Amino acid sequence: MDTSVARRNILARIRAAQGRPAEPAVSERDAAADYLARHPEGPRPPMPDDLVARFIEEARKLSTTVDEVDAPVDVPGAVYRYLTAHGLPVHAIAWQTLRDFAWAEAGMTVEFRKPEDLDRVGITGCFCATAETGTLVLLSGAETYASAGLLPETHVAIVPASRIVAGHEDAFGLIRAERGELPRAVNFVSGPSRTGDIEQTIVLGAHGPYRVHAIVVRGA
């Protein structure tokens, strides 16, 4: 069963136990939207005018490596340079939304599918990114599978500069404004996977990618 359908069924059973219909009425949805619109935000730290610079600064603190390019056409070459500089394969899987990039001309072989066990590099875009914490925000979907940024050892993310927002509150606001409701999965990626469980020594790649590389596209 699709996860979204399962979630709706669970919520429907909860509502039934409360004596309410399975789906919220229009009045309930309007009341929730009104509450969100009126509910005051908690205190937030001041943010600089240059959100791109702040995102890059914070991302690097989290061991995310960052490159910048001027335009989308420059992305494949930047990915190729990063992979070859680190001795990584130039064969990758990617979101289907990235089909239009000229990967082959840059010397790369890219398959647009979900990752399998032996795939070492996954390339994704992002829904947006948050400057406050240097975090990538990825939404799952039929063409933007969550596993592409979770299973391969190396995750390369393409970040349009125009999609860098101040904080998580702004990211959720953008999701509500553009999508209406949350998708099956929303992943906040703040650097490579890590753990400090063993003798409080930080180990990268514990539960996901060893490397996260963000390519900020200034002209996008």
Q: What is the DSSP string of 97-137?
A: GGTTS-TGGGT-EEE-S---TT--EEEE--SEEETTTTEEE
Domain enclosing residue 27, as ranges: 1-39
Q: What is the reported pLDDT for 202? A: 64
Q: Does any domain span residue 104?
A: yes
pLDDT, block means (10 residues), the chain with 220 residues: 74 89 87 83 87 97 95 97 96 97 97 95 98 96 94 96 96 90 89 70 66 93
Same domain for 62 and 146, yes or no, is yes
Q: What is the reported pLDDT for 208? A: 65
Q: What is the reported pLDDT for 203? A: 63
Same domain for 17 and 62, yes or no, is no
Q: Strands 121-124 and 91-94, how do they pair?
A: parallel
Q: Does any domain span residue 93?
A: yes
Same domain for 125 and 179, yes or no, is yes
Q: What is the reported pLDDT for 38? A: 84
Domains contained in the chain, number: 2
The span from the CA of 8 to the CA of 97, in Å, is 27
Q: Does any domain span residue 110?
A: yes
CATH value at residue 147: 3.40.50.10420
Q: Does any domain span residue 46?
A: no
Same domain for 35 and 61, yes or no, is no
- Hunting for tokens 């975090």 — which residue is that? 135
Q: Does any domain span residue 155?
A: yes
Same domain for 93 and 141, yes or no, is yes
